[in-house]
Amino acid sequence: MGNSITLTVGETTALKSFKDHIAYAGMPSENVYSIVQMKNVGAKDALAWNLFFPKSRTEIVIDKVNILVENVTADAIQLRMGMWQ
C-alpha cells in the first residue's frame, strides 16, 4: 500500500491516472461517509458521483484501486491507497 494521505472536505487526490480523482464529501450522517468519484477531470465530458459507505467499512475499492480508510471524521478522512496486483 502507498503512503497515508488526509483529505479534508472538498479536497481531491488523483487515483491511478491524473484523469480520475476522488474527493472527500464528509459525513451525511453519524455512521456514513461519502467520497466523490470523478472521471475525466478537466475534460468537457467530466463526470462525478457520490459513493456512500458505512463508517465501519475500512476497506473499499474505487476504480480498481484498493483503499484502506485509516480514520474518518465529519471534517477529514485519512486514506492509504494501492493498486490491486
Residue 74 belongs to what domain range? 4-83
pTM, rounded to two decimals: 0.87
C-alpha cell at 52: 456512500
Q: How many helices (H) and strands (E) does the chain have?
A: 0, 8
- Tell me the pairing of strands 76-83 and 47-54: unpaired
Distances (CA, A) of 34 to 28, 44, 51: 7, 24, 6
Give the residue among 74, 69, 73, 75 at the shortest CA–CA distance from 57. Answer: 69
Identify which has the larger pLDDT, 57 or 44. 57
Q: What is the pLDDT of residues 35-54, one digit of tens each?
A: 999 987 777 888 999 999 99
How many domains in the chain?
A: 1
CB 72 within 8 A of CB 78: yes
